[in-house]
Amino acid sequence: MKDAPILRSYAVLYLIFLYGPIIILPMFAFNDNTIVSFPLKGFTTKWFAEMWSDPNLRIALQNSLIIALSTATLSTVLGIFAARASVRYKWPGKTAVVGLIMVPLVLPEMIVAMALLVVLLSIGVPLSIFTIIMGHVLICMPFAVAILTSAFQSLDRSLEEAALDLGEDAWSTFRLIVLPLVMPGIMASFLITFTISIDEFIIANFLGSGKPILSVYIFGQFRFPAKVPAMLALGTLLVAFSIILLTIAEYFRRRGVAKTGGKNSGGFL
Amino acid sequence: MAQSQSSEAKTGYMLVAPPLLYAVLLLAAPLATVLIYSVLTGENGAVSLPMTTENFTTVWTGRVYQAIMARSLYVSMLVTLTTVLLAYPIAYFVSFHVRPERKALWLFLITIPFWTSYIIRVALWRTILGYNGIIDSTLIGLGVTSEPLNILSYGVVSIIITLAHAYAPFAVLPIFVSLEKVDRALLEAGQDLGESRWTTFLRVTLPLSMPGVIAAVLIVFIPTVGDYVTPELIGGGKVPMIANMIEIEMLKKRDQAMGSAIAVTAMSIVAIVSILFVLLNKRFIGGTK
């Protein structure tokens, strides 16, 4: 490896640009000043107390957790079906079918949200948490399929054949051999779709009939300058939480790579 | 053999049926509905029959609509250009100058910010760039300037900074993947044959990494064209883009036909730009071989 001082310093600057906002977040969440600007005034935890005292936040948090848990479960289960079908079996029309499932990745989210909204309104389905889950599963499924496809691909098919030869039926082979080996992929898919769902704003906003949902609540609060420090406190907690979740997901992904005997290269996506 | 093949296909279809059904009902059907609505007449939150192309005429010739669509394209192209230009050197650095066992760590570091709340990141840029915000107070504190710069008030610039930050990992990853595939022996050959390191980069590495660059362009361009949050929070509603316009037509004016026509137009723009880039990519690869 040649040394490249200019590129190396550029890389460091780039990381500072990427992490700048995330470092600023806790700095001002603990800063004893309503106005978010330098110089820092002193240490306080009052913004955390103020944030937590809003009952709307707790309702929003509860709603978001219900939505994210349901979305992660549903999209991961649907992802398992699609990934298994596309990796293990040969059938005509595979490219088109998988392509359709992946379409939300290349479609602006606003269009997905509006198309769903138009249909829901015309059939007369009332907007609720349930309609948000429907939308979220749609946009999370491609991520689940992508992660799980690579998990199923790294699976050694001879292990399955060995189990079948030794007298297990198809279902118990899947349960005893395939499932444990792709478990890390399933965990990673669950955690990532959970994170996407918690963060998602457009669908939560337009398919949710104004029910308090975490992202919609944060969006609304940022319009009031006095609420900004409390939102930074909330943001600090959320960022800490996602970093913990992602580290766990990365751990499972690496363990999965190690289990199937592959080489570790790359990260998510 | 033929029978086992057909039974394999059957199992495949049975497995894929649930996700496929879901995508057909909740994606294909709604998109088809929008397509049909776009040629109907819309009024008071309902659509009625006389089929018409008037919606499209209005969208394509109306001054306001044209202005907003042109701005969406202009802003998202600038964002894409900035993001990809900033991302290329970092992808190059990780691919060529980081030891193999540490590459995964670097990629993990680059992707982490992307997984933290989008709304919070966008709103943070608002407090960083805003009037007397973090940048202003830092510069005044350092004595660089005495007047607040209020970068936020230059709508487009702050949108570009925010989105270039938000979509950074999307640009780095595909470029990195294509750089990883570049055969290192070709670079040595180039240098052995008397090229300098810079000309080797221009004539070998850059063309070979073009597929990744094109992928990065598309991955950044498509969501930014349809971005709703940033124009709303950062632009303060002063720089509306296509997504904000769809919202106004669909929900505020309650004209679903017009809203659908704009959505279809937006999808067509995305599709045309994507196809252009994919063709460009093919031509590029064809030309260098």
pLDDT in tens, A209-247: 777 888 888 888 877 777 788 888 888 888 888 788 777
- Tell me whether B73 touches chain A (CB under 8 Å): no
Residues of A in contact with B17 (CB under 8 A): 81
DSSP B98: S
pLDDT at B181: 84
Q: What architecture is the A55-259 domain classified under in CATH?
A: Orthogonal Bundle (1.10)
B258 contacts B55 by C-beta, under 8 angstroms: yes
pLDDT of A73 > 90? The answer is: yes
- Domain that includes residue B248, residue range: 69-288
Highest average pLDDT, of A29-43, A87-101, A243-257, B115-129, comes from A87-101
State CA B82 to chain mean position distance.
Answer: 12
Per residue in B11-22, pLDDT tens? 888 888 899 999
DSSP3 helix / strand / coil % (chain B, rounded to 5): 80, 0, 20
What does the alpha-carbon distance between residue A229 and residue A28 come to, in Å, rounded to a whole number? 7
Chain A CB contacts of B184 under 8 Å are none
B269 touches A101 (CB < 8 A):
no
Interchain CB distance below 8 Å, A89 and B133: no
Cβ pair B99:A22 closer than 8 A: no
Residue A125 has pLDDT above 80, yes or no: yes
Q: Which of the residue ranges A11-20, B121-130, B185-194 has the most confident prediction, judged by mean pLDDT?
A: A11-20
Of A15, A28, A92, the CB nearest to B9: A92
Q: Which of residues 206-265 of A touch B (CB under 8 A)?
A: 206, 215, 218-219, 222, 228, 231-232, 235, 238-239, 242-243, 246, 250, 264-265
Q: What is the pLDDT of residue A266?
A: 43
For B165, name the nearest residue in chain A, comparing CA atoms only: A18
Number of inter-chain CB pairs under 8 A, A vs B: 267
Averaged pLDDT score across all residues of chain A:
83
- Look at residue B45 in the predicted model and tell me its pLDDT: 63
- Number of structural domains in chain B: 1
Question: Cα torsion at B76, B82, B84, B86 (round to 10°)?
Answer: -160
Q: Is the pLDDT of residue A133 over 90?
A: yes
Instruction: Find all residues with CB under 8 Å of B287, minimum gap 6, and list them.
Output: none
User: Which position has the higher pLDDT, B132 or B33?
Assistant: B33
ipTM exceeding the 0.85 mark: no
Amino acid sitting at position B240: P
Integer Cα distance of A132 and A182 in angstroms: 29
Distance CA B279, CA A94 (A): 24
Does residue A263 have a pLDDT over 60? no
Helix (H, G, I), strand (E, B) or coil at B96: helix
Q: Say whether B15 sits in a helix, a strand or coil.
A: helix
C-alpha dist (Å) from residue B41 to A110, B37, B44, B64? 22, 8, 10, 20
The pLDDT value given to residue B152: 63
With a cut of 90, say whether residue A66 has pLDDT above it. yes
Percent of chain A with pLDDT over 70: 91
Residue B254 lies in a domain: yes
Provide mean pLDDT across the span A145-162: 85
CB burial of residue B24 (10 Å; 0-12, 13-18, 19+): middle
Residue of chain A with shortest Cα separation from B173: A269
Look at the alpha carbons of B175, B181, B185, B189 in this order and tell me if their dihedral is positive or negative: negative
Contacts of A208 in chain B (CB under 8 A): none
The enclosing domain of B282 has a CATH number of: 1.10.3720.10
Our CA-based measurement puts residue A141 at a distance from the nearest CA of chain B, in whole angstroms, of 8
Whether residue A21 and residue B125 make contact (CB cut-off 8 A), yes or no, is yes
Question: In which element (H, E) is residue B48 found?
Answer: strand B46-48
Domain assignments of chain A as residue spans, ordered by start: 1-44, 55-259
A140 neighbors A196 (Cβ within 8 angstroms): yes
DSSP H helices, A30-128, are 46-52, 55-88, 94-102, 109-123
Q: Do the chains contact at A97 and B45, CB–CB below 8 Å?
A: no
**Residues of chain A contacting B119 with CB distance shorter than 8 Å:** 199, 201, 215, 218-219, 222
Residue B41 lies in a domain: no
Strand partners, B42: B47
Q: Considering only residues A82 and B62, tell me which one the structure prediction assigns the higher pLDDT.
A: A82
Phi, psi of B2 (to 5 degrees): -60, -35
Adjacent-strand bridge partners of A43: A31
Quick one: pLDDT band at residue A103, thresholds 50, 70, 90? Answer: confident
Query: Which of B108, B226, B259 lies nearest to residue A108, judging by beta carbons?
Result: B226
Contact residues, chain B, for A90 at CB < 8 Å = 5, 8-9, 12
Alpha carbon B154 to its chain's center: 22
* Cβ of residue A164 closer than 8 Å to a chain B Cβ: no
In this prediction, residue A1 has a pLDDT band, given cuts at 50, 70 and 90, of very low
Q: Point out the residue among A11, A19, A89 whose CB comes nearest to the CB of B93.
A: A11
pLDDT value of residue B100: 81
- The mean per-residue pLDDT over the stretch B159-175 comes to 87
CA distance B56 to chain A (A): 17
Cα–Cα nearest to B168, from B112, B127, B123: B112
State the best of A1, A12, A15, A18 to mutate against chain B, taking most chain B CBs within 10 Å.
A18
